[in-house]
Structure 1
Amino acid sequence: MKVFLILALAIASASAGILPVHPRDRVAAPSISGRITNGKNAVADQFPYQVGLSFSSSEGGWWCGGSIIAANWVVTAAHCTDGASSVTASFGATVRTSPKFSYTISSSDFIQHKNYLSLTVRNDISLIKTPSISFSAAVNKIALPAISSSYSTYVGQTAIASGWGLTSDSATAVAKNLQFADLTVISNAECKKSFSSLIVTSRVICVASSNAISTCQGDSGGPLALDGTLIGITSFGSPDGCEVGSPAAFTRVTSYLDWIKENSGVEA
């Protein structure tokens, strides 16, 4: 009965136009890679924790982002790993096609949250185990939030999203340079004005996307960072596009600190 209830609620939400779409799944443009809409060019070594993830499956491929959290672990979104057979992970790139090094990793080294539910974007988080990464100025880990910050909402604070997602809703070209954007965290109550409360749970963190600055297709799984700490993983946005001014939503990392520790041994 519970499953049918969730499905019914989700269908009702869809009819009201409030179901989200993952940046990976946008179909307004044929390319699945690109950059953050109306962002800024990153400089070399600015985001050493940023990883480029080129996923492959029997049905094709797609581009996502990720974050280094330890010398052999990357965290990304579950909707990125879902259905993939392998990934080529690129490290230390500012120019997307020129990483310092890359690894091809089988799906057997993916740990996707077992309770990930695409329909309501629940538990949109995965881990990827990598060969040992040598840290440098260009390649390094990002800190996880402290357990003591688990109840912080971050509302009103400015965080930084980065990635190679589309530059606009009509863009088709791949970006040459890594992009970033300063985004203000909003309350979940505010975010629920654009998305169903079935979707915007306490495990989601949202940002405003004023002036058409937002995450977009190709940014999925990438980082939302605050003061050098990973607070969000790019998850979903409005089905109406990246530039419409609706909030962008992220998996709230503080809600998954125990899960990350249990599955990887990594802790703040």
Structure 2
Amino acid sequence: MTTFAVLLVAIATAQVQQVASINQGNDSLVPEPYMVALFLHRNYTRESVHCSGTLISSNYVLTAARCFFDNDISTINMIFGASATDRWEEGHLTVTQNTSGLTLHPGFDPDSFADDVALIKLDDDIVFTNSIGSIELYGGNDTLDGQNSTILGFGLYDYQLKSASNPVLQLVECTNSDDFYTDLVTDNQICFDGSGFLSACEGDFGGPVVVDGVQAGIISFYHEDNCNTDQPTVATRISAYRDWIRDISGV
């Protein structure tokens, strides 16, 4: 087995075993209107995959392709307008539908996480409220290096929306931070600084990287060891896929 193949096996193993939420993140006591908790149910079993996503219009949710690839998903359960998924909250909305509205980017590579972006078309339009709304997508040419950013996700077992803030790293800083990132990170991705042991974790995949109130990234993967490190979180760069997102969703 090649060194690269061993590396990819390590990624898959480590990132399936993590059970926390955003490491060292802060609990969100009120909903972020654009955040969506995803519970993806496998065919013929009671097992589910937990991911996060964002509402980008009244009828489209943006998330990570890795959540669906080779997971034999039959049903998508989405919770809107919630700060936690283990209790009832006034104003939240639960939507359940099949995968007919799901579109994965055709270039998605489950080994390298390239083109890790997916869209879910909702069967029925969402009515925006004080608790539920959409987020704007970044479409500029600025790399956003050094700008303060926030990652958000619901995690796997915490059931709690959490967030953490740190600067966007230059790609060269990201790739040089550890050999793990060298063959994986490309210009189509954005890196969230892990200083202070701030990192996305299992269940946060598909959640946003937000800069100045605008979504700049989609959480894709973290370091191969685990999420309790000071290593970067890597996200799909929204601006690199702006045309594809627009072509599918009209947003």
Q: Normalization by structure 2: what TM-score?
A: 0.89
| Deviation, structure 1 residue 106 | 1.0
Residues 244 and 21 of structure 1, relative CA distance in 2, 3 Å threshold? same
Q: Which residue of 2 aligns with 1:5?
A: none
Residue from 194, 197, 205 that aligns with 1:212: 197
Cα distance in 1 for partners of 2:12, 2:205 equals 7
Residue from 77, 80, 91 that aligns with 2:80: 91
**Letter in structure 2 aligned against 1:236:** F
| Deviation, structure 1 residue 176 | 4.5
Q: Which residue of 1 aligns with 2:58?
A: 71
Q: Which residue of 2 aligns with 1:171?
A: none
Q: Which residue of 2 aligns with 1:107?
A: 99
**Letter in structure 2 aligned against 1:144:** L
| Aligned: 1:140 with 2:129 | no
**Letter in structure 2 aligned against 1:185:** V
| Deviation, structure 1 residue 19 | 7.5
- Is the 8 Å Cα contact of residues 22 and 237 (structure 1) preserved in structure 2? no
Residues 215 and 108 of structure 1, relative CA distance in 2, 3 Å threshold? same
Cα distance in 2 for partners of 1:196, 1:41 equals 29
| Deviation, structure 1 residue 22 | 6.7
Cα distance in 1 for partners of 2:81, 2:101 equals 21
Q: Secondary structure at the match of 2:246?
A: helix
- Is the 8 Å Cα contact of residues 194 and 233 (structure 2) preserved in structure 1? yes
- Is the 8 Å Cα contact of residues 188 and 237 (structure 2) preserved in structure 1? yes
Residues 111 and 94 of structure 1, relative CA distance in 2, 3 Å threshold? same
Q: Which residue of 2 aligns with 1:191?
A: 174
| Deviation, structure 1 residue 163 | 1.1
Q: Deviations over 1:210-256 (max 9, x none)?
A: 12111101101011111111101010111101112111100000000
- Structure 1 residue runs without a partner (length 5+): 1-7, 167-173
- Is the 8 Å Cα contact of residues 23 and 219 (structure 1) preserved in structure 2? no
**Letter in structure 2 aligned against 1:184:** P
Q: Secondary structure at the match of 1:21?
A: helix
- Is the 8 Å Cα contact of residues 156 and 184 (structure 1) preserved in structure 2? yes
Identical-pair percentage = 30
Q: Secondary structure at the match of 1:240?
A: coil
Q: Which residue of 1 aligns with 2:4?
A: 13
Q: Which residue of 2 aligns with 1:227?
A: 212
**Letter in structure 1 aligned against 2:170:** S
Cα distance in 2 for partners of 1:230, 1:37 equals 20
Q: Which residue of 1 aligns with 2:29?
A: 43
Residue from 93, 110, 115 that aligns with 1:123: 115
Q: Deviations over 1:74-124 (max 9, x none)?
A: 000000122322210100011223361111121111011111111111100
Cα distance in 2 for partners of 1:161, 1:191 equals 16
Q: Secondary structure at the match of 2:137?
A: coil
Q: Secondary structure at the match of 1:75?
A: strand
Residues 75 and 219 of structure 1, relative CA distance in 2, 3 Å threshold? same
| Aligned: 1:153 with 2:160 | no
| Deviation, structure 1 residue 152 | 1.2
Cα distance in 1 for partners of 2:13, 2:249 equals 26
**Letter in structure 2 aligned against 1:181:** A
Residues 20 and 256 of structure 1, relative CA distance in 2, 3 Å threshold? farther
**Letter in structure 2 aligned against 1:213:** L
Cα distance in 2 for partners of 1:227, 1:52 equals 22
Paired residues, what number?
241
Q: Which residue of 1 aligns with 2:229?
A: 244
Q: Normalization by structure 1: what TM-score?
A: 0.83
Moved more, 57-66 or 69-78: 57-66
